[in-house]
Amino acid sequence: MSAHATTYVPKSRIAKWFEARLPIVGLVHSSFIAFPVPRNLNYFWTFGAILMVMLGSQIITGVWLAMHYQPSATEAFNSVEHIMRDVNYGWLLRYMHANGASMFFIAVYVHMFRNLYYGSYKAPREVLYILGVIIYLLMMATAFLGYTLPWGQMSFWGATVITNILAAIPIVGDTIQSLLWGGYSVGNPTINRFFSLHYLLPFMIAGVVVLHVWALHVTGQNNPTGIPIKTGKDAVPFTPYATIKDVFAVVVFFVFFAYWIFLQPNYLGHADNYIPANPAVTPAHIVPEWYFLPFYAILRAVPDKLGGVILMFGAVIILALAPWLDTSRVRSANYRPIYRQFFWVFIFCCFLLGWLGSKPPEGGYVLASRLATVYYFAHFLIVMPLVGLFETPKPLPGSILESVTGPGKQVGSSGMPAGAAAAPPTKG
- pLDDT (0 to 100) of residue 6: 53
Q: Sorting pLDDT into bands at 50, 70 and 90, what band is 1?
A: very low
Are residues 168 and 62 both part of a single domain? yes
Q: Sorting pLDDT into bands at 50, 70 and 90, what band is 425?
A: very low
Are residues 62 and 208 both part of a single domain? yes
The CATH number that applies at residue 178 is: 1.20.810.10
Closest C-alpha among 96, 98, 83 to residue 148: 98
- pLDDT (0 to 100) of residue 183: 86
Query: Strand 36-38 relative to strand 235-237: parallel, antiparallel, unpaired?
Result: antiparallel
CA distance 192 to 75: 12
- pLDDT (0 to 100) of residue 184: 87
Mean model confidence pLDDT for the chain = 92
Are residues 296 and 223 both part of a single domain? no
Task: State what percent of residues in the chain have pLDDT above 70.
Answer: 94
Over the stretch 151-164, which tens digit does the pLDDT of each residue have?
999 999 999 999 99
Query: What is the residue range of 392's domain?
Result: 292-397
- pLDDT (0 to 100) of residue 156: 95
CA distance 37 to 228: 10
Q: Sorting pLDDT into bands at 50, 70 and 90, what band is 408?
A: low
- 171 conformational bin, left if phi > 0, alpha if psi -120 to 50, beta if neither: left
Q: Sorting pLDDT into bands at 50, 70 and 90, what band is 192?
A: very high
- pLDDT (0 to 100) of residue 411: 60
CA distances from 121 to 71, 105, 126, 205 (A): 40, 19, 5, 20
- pLDDT (0 to 100) of residue 415: 52
Are residues 322 and 247 both part of a single domain? no
3-state class of 186 per DSSP? coil
Q: Sorting pLDDT into bands at 50, 70 and 90, what band is 371?
A: very high
- pLDDT (0 to 100) of residue 424: 45
CA distance 241 to 226: 20
CA atoms within 13 Å, Cβ hemisphere of 239: 9
> Mean pLDDT over residues 236-248, rounded?
96
- pLDDT (0 to 100) of residue 284: 84
Decide: 368 and 307 in contact? Cβ < 8 Å.
no
How many other C-beta atoms can be found within 10 angstroms of the C-beta atom of residue 359? Answer: 18
Q: Which amino acid is at 350?
A: C
Are residues 90 and 209 both part of a single domain? yes
- pLDDT (0 to 100) of residue 410: 61
Are residues 121 and 163 both part of a single domain? yes
- pLDDT (0 to 100) of residue 7: 73
Are residues 140 and 158 both part of a single domain? yes
Closest C-alpha among 231, 226, 256, 265 to residue 41: 226
Are residues 256 and 174 both part of a single domain? yes
Over the stretch 39-92, which tens digit does the pLDDT of each residue have?
999 999 999 999 999 999 999 999 999 999 999 999 999 999 999 999 999 999
Domain assignment present for residue 183? The answer is: yes
**In this model, does residue 266 exceed pLDDT 80?**
yes
CA distances from 247 to 26, 90, 101 (A): 22, 27, 20
3-state class of 139 per DSSP? helix
Give 111-114's long-range contacts (Cβ < 8 A, gap of 24+).
Answer: 111/47, 111/48, 111/51, 112/136, 112/319, 113/347, 114/44, 114/45, 114/47
Are residues 297 and 264 both part of a single domain? no
Over the stretch 110-124, which tens digit does the pLDDT of each residue have?
999 999 999 999 999
Over the stretch 375-403, which tens digit does the pLDDT of each residue have?
999 999 999 999 999 999 999 999 999 99
> Mean pLDDT over residues 281-285, rounded?
88
Query: Which pTM does this prediction carry?
Result: 0.92
Are residues 108 and 254 both part of a single domain? yes
Are residues 67 and 185 both part of a single domain? yes
Over the stretch 304-352, which tens digit does the pLDDT of each residue have?
889 999 999 999 999 999 999 999 999 999 999 999 999 999 999 999 9
